[in-house]
Amino acid sequence: MRKIKLDNRIIIKRLWAIVKPYRGRAFLSLLAMALTAATQPLLGKALQLLMDLGFRQKVPFSLWWIPGVLVSIFVLRGIGTFATAYYNNWVLSRVLNDLRAQAFERLLRLPVARFQEESTGKVINTVVGDVRQVVDMIQSVFISFVRDALVVIGLVGSLLWLNWKLTLVAIVVVPLTAVIVRTTSKRLRHLNRENQRVTAEMTQVVEEAARGHQVIRVFAGERYENHRFFLRSEALRGFSQRMTVAFAATTPVTQIATSLALSLVVVLAIQADMTVGEFTQFVTLMLMLLTPLKALAEVNGPMQRGIAAAETVFEMIDAPVEHDPGTRVLGRAQGQVRFENVVFRYPNAHAPALDGVSLDVKPGQTVALVGMSGGGKSTFVNLVTRFYEPEGGRILLDGVPYQDIMLPSLRAQMALVSQNVVLFDDTLKANIAYGVEEVDYARLAAAIKAAHLDDVVARLPEGVETNIGENGLRLSGGQRQRVAIARAIYKDAPILILDEATSALDNESERAVQAALETLMAGRTTFVVAHRLSTIERADLIVVMERGRIVEKGTHEELLAKGGTYANLYRLQFTTPVEAL
């Protein structure tokens, strides 16, 4: 996937568009920061009055009103600090939710091919980790560039008013700081991009280790997985060290330059005609200036991390969604599916996965797709669901070209039961009645009964309201597959795709579910990809695929009588333990 590099101004403009709806609260935060910033020079002035009036002239009333002023300043400072934190969090928490929602919404609409190009870890890291870094950048930059900048402006203004000559000597450090920051910015940006990449890889390793824990233990893969994790961890440590060096070099150089300027100011101030209070005020304001200047110098690190993360987040948000030029919305389809000389090639593949495939499937017909691995069976059903667009030819549903049908309307006609069952960390009810807002309980009960899940539901502590865990971990493999079948039964779509739908069932479970599948398949167009012959033998049409082409088609008896590819595969299955069909 090509990495998009965005100009900083574009990133800031887009982030402002997300913050803009909350500009009222952001403005209140700005006022609170201005109040906090205003207390800094006021504190210096109060100290000057305390030194000149309280200790030199011994005026009685000064002993009371100056401390009162000091307390008032700190009260105002506390109010400003609290309001800043409150309104900043109010705005940024909503910006975080909005940005994550945009990224997740786009994630759900990305084409299937995108998930074959990127790891799950990278996708998770983009939506969760990178978005967090972007918001952290907004917070750091907003606070430093606004609050600290206001403090610097207020303090420098007070210093200029107090003694402009000494102030000019003191601020010679500013250009030096700017040069240092500019020099380190480019380096930090590059390191942060690499850091993001390796973080995504580490997330993927951890996710795979958790998902494949049993396989790792049985095959003694602990050392191998530890090594994979160690390599990513070491890479992250290296990037962290290099970023720390690049980032940390800024602070001491800035502080040394500042201390030199401060030392020179002290010498000149002693020679100038200044009262003790004025000198105390000047030095105090200069010392106060160090903290916001340091913060402004250090904001470059999180800013570069945030910009690098923003590029990744906006690349996902801007990624093209599934192509959907259709305008027609279908009612319930009859289920006629026709392939006309369809050609499909995967990206960067030389040979086509489907090469001139033509097939006319009648409504209610059961079509079994068989052939050796890589023959094109999975590609065929992925084109039926329109997860991919054909390179040549066309596909029609009830005589209507796929391109004319809106994607949601097209997929509303289909139900899928795959070999790789996907269940969600939710209740059994939500998994069976997936995608509907209001559950039809009579329909739910019928789907459970048809999929022979009655006994499973009876044993669950809360029945259909029981949470079945991540990917159905509280269920057995056969039970999980029956839940997927119940989901297809509940949807009651006119077109079914059964991709190894009974592969995870034992013989007893398969017999129980097979009857339900046959009832479900009646009157519906069904595409079956299976290795076992129980469904294939009863199919209305068996299509034999080899290297992306249809080499044979007919009924089970017709193809056996031909003595061709299907007959050879049939004999192979009963003479060797390989899955040929």
Rounded to an integer, what distance in angstroms lies between the CA atom of residue 85 and that of residue 80?
A: 9
Mean pLDDT calculated for residue range 354-372 = 93
Indicate if the pLDDT at residue 383 is higher than 70. yes
499, containing H or E segment:
strand 495-499
Poorest-pLDDT segment among 217-221, 249-253, 320-324? 217-221
Does residue 403 or residue 158 have the better pLDDT?
A: 403
Query: Residue 73: enclosing H or E segment and its boundaries?
Result: helix 62-109
| DSSP state for residue 3 in the 8-state scheme | P
Residue 7 CB-density burial (10 A; 0-12 exposed, 13-18 middle, 19+ buried):
exposed
Instruction: Indicate the pairing of strand 541-546 with strand 549-554.
Output: antiparallel
Rounded mean pLDDT, 362-390: 91
Q: Is the pLDDT of residue 436 over 70?
A: yes
DSSP code, position 576: S
pLDDT at residue number 59 = 54
pLDDT in tens, 141-154: 777 778 888 888 88
The pLDDT of residue 1 is above 50: no
Average pLDDT over every residue of 152-159: 83
> How far, in Å, are 82, 446, 496 from residue 517 at the CA level?
63, 13, 10
The structure tokens listed for 220 are 């003694």
Asked whether the predicted pLDDT for residue 390 surpasses 90, the reply is yes
Residue of higher predicted confidence among 281 and 443: 443
**pLDDT (tens digit, 9 = 90+) per residue, 447-457?**
998 888 888 89
Whether the CB-CB separation of 255 and 224 falls below 8 Å is answered with: no
CA distance 466 to 461: 7
Structure letter (DSSP) for residue 119: -
Instruction: Give one DSSP letter per residue of 411-472, joined into a string.
Output: HTTEEEE-SS----SSBHHHHHTTT-SS--HHHHHHHHHHTT-HHHHHHSTTGGGSB--GGG
- Residue-by-residue DSSP string for 292-308: HHHHHHHTHHHHHHHHH
pLDDT range class, residue 222, cuts 50, 70, 90: confident
- Interval 352-377 mean pLDDT: 92
Distance CA 210, CA 189 (A): 32
CA-based nearest residue to 118, from 57, 56, 196, 41:
196
According to DSSP, the residues that pair with 414 across neighbouring strands are 495
Residue 515 CA to residue 518 CA, distance in Å, equals 5
When mean pLDDT is compared across 30-34, 302-306, 487-491, 546-550, the lowest value belongs to 302-306
Residue the block writes with tokens 């500042």: 258
More confident: 227 or 256? 227
Alpha-carbon distance 183 to 163, whole Å? 33
C-alpha to C-alpha distance for 543 and 218, rounded to whole angstroms: 38
Answer yes or no: is pLDDT of 211 > 60.
yes
Mean pLDDT value of segment 268-288: 73
| 173-184 mean pLDDT | 63
The sign of the CA dihedral 182, 183, 189, 192 is: negative
3-state secondary structure of 367: strand
Cβ proximity of 172 and 261 under 8 Å: yes
All structural domains of the chain, each given as residue ranges with its CATH number in brackets, are: 8-318 (1.20.1560.10), 323-413+495-504+524-581 (3.40.50.300), 421-492 (3.40.50.300)
Name the more confident of 232 and 90.
90
Q: Structure pTM?
A: 0.74
10 has pLDDT over 90: no
Helices (H), 465-506: 477-491
User: Nearest to residue 127, comparing CAs of 300, 320, 317, 379?
Assistant: 317
Least confident of 181-195, 219-233, 519-533: 181-195
How high is the pLDDT of residue 79?
93
Give the percent of the chain with pLDDT over 90.
25
Higher-confidence residue of 496 and 197: namely: 496
The helix (H) or strand (E) run that includes residue 107 is helix 62-109
Helix (H) or strand (E) holding 521: helix 507-521
What's the pLDDT score for residue 149?
Answer: 82
Which tokens belong to 473?
């971990």
Alpha carbon 265 to its chain centroid, in Å, reads 52
CA angle 10, 12, 16 (to 5 degrees): 115
Contact in structure between 338 and 396 (CB atoms under 8 Å): yes
Ramachandran region, residue 46 (left: φ > 0; alpha: ψ -120 to 50; beta: rest)? alpha
Is the pLDDT assigned to residue 501 strictly greater than 80? no
pLDDT score of 275 more than 90:
no
Residue 497: its pLDDT value, please?
92
User: Which of the four pLDDT bands, split at 50, 70 and 90, describes residue 186?
Assistant: low
| Contact predicate 392/385, CB 8 Å | no
